[in-house]
Amino acid sequence: MPKITSLETQKRYQDRYSLFLDGEFWKGIHAETVLNLRLKPGQEVSEGELEGIVRIEEERQAREYALKLLSYRPRSEDEIRRKLAGKGYGEDIMEAALDFLRCQKFVDDADFAQRWIEHRRQSRPMGRAGLGWELRQKGIDRNLVDSALESYPGESEREAALEAARRALTKATGDPASRKRKAVGMLQRRGFSWETIQDVLTALLSTEEEPETGEDTD
């Protein structure tokens, strides 16, 4: 069986060791792996034990990559799985990483869906249809999507549509008909219902068209 001839702390990464087998570099491994497996120079290791070390390191790297992704912004399980698959990790390694994230409450698709809806309400107002489409694109289960959208009542959707329409009409140029068409297109792309679009645009445009009133100076 191969024998561990040396374990050297890496200069660049102080929490990692370079493991040498029979005098030749084999693999860089984390200090925790060395400690947990009680690896030491002079120890013989079987092929099965070496495979176990490789798996432990792969699981650690997958976890660390997933945590790095989550440090940028919250993500759904499916988003993380796709990113891990893009890095070449196998299904068993990806599932082990996701199990760790679930146990630590770092991923929770139900909570993610609620947070996503609230984020959109504040930064980019959208309709229920648009929100549902986005969440399904992120791999959120349809039942979780439906449950999250239950907390988005019609009044809130109308308020979101009003805010989005105000922004669109303010930015739009051209005659009233052209501005209205641009606003309608934007609201449709964001998933607002036609009924809601008609409602908010009628309210906003009628306000714009109201003439100013003042005292008669004649």
Using the predicted structure, report yes or no on whether residue 215 has a pLDDT greater than 50.
no
55-106 in CATH: which number? Answer: 1.10.10
Cα gap 73→13, rounded to integer Å:
26
Q: Give residue 77's pLDDT.
A: 96
Q: Is 25 helix (H, G, I), strand (E, B) or coil?
A: strand
What's the average model confidence in pLDDT over 78-92?
A: 96
Domain ranges of the chain: 1-45, 55-106, 109-207
Using the predicted structure, report yes or no on whether residue 69 has a pLDDT greater than 70.
yes
User: Is residue 208 very low, low, confident or very high in pLDDT (cuts 50, 70, 90)?
Assistant: low
Convert the pLDDT of each residue in 119-171 to its tens digit. 888 888 888 899 999 999 999 999 999 999 987 766 778 888 888 888 888 88
Q: Give residue 209's pLDDT.
A: 52
For residue 89, give Cα distances in angstroms to 84, 85, 96, 115: 6, 5, 11, 28
Distance from the Cα of residue 30 to its chain's centroid: 28
Q: Is 18 helix (H, G, I), strand (E, B) or coil?
A: strand
Cα gap 113→110, rounded to integer Å:
5
Using the predicted structure, report yes or no on whether residue 210 has a pLDDT greater than 60.
no
Convert the pLDDT of each residue in 170-184 to its tens digit. 888 888 888 888 999
Q: Which residues contact 19 (CB under 8 A, 6 or more apart)?
A: 4, 6, 7, 25, 26, 27, 28, 29, 34, 39
Q: Give residue 213's pLDDT.
A: 44
Cα gap 117→124, rounded to integer Å:
10
Cα gap 180→100, rounded to integer Å:
50
Number of residues that this document lists for the chain? 218
Sign of CA dihedral 133, 135, 136, 137: positive
Q: Which of these, 124, 133, 80, 126, lies nearest to 102 by C-alpha position?
A: 80
Convert the pLDDT of each residue in 1-49 to its tens digit. 899 999 999 988 889 999 999 999 999 999 999 998 999 999 999 999 9
Q: Give residue 103's pLDDT.
A: 94
Which spans in the chain are helix H? 31-37, 47-72, 77-86, 91-103, 109-123, 128-137, 142-149, 154-171, 176-189, 194-209
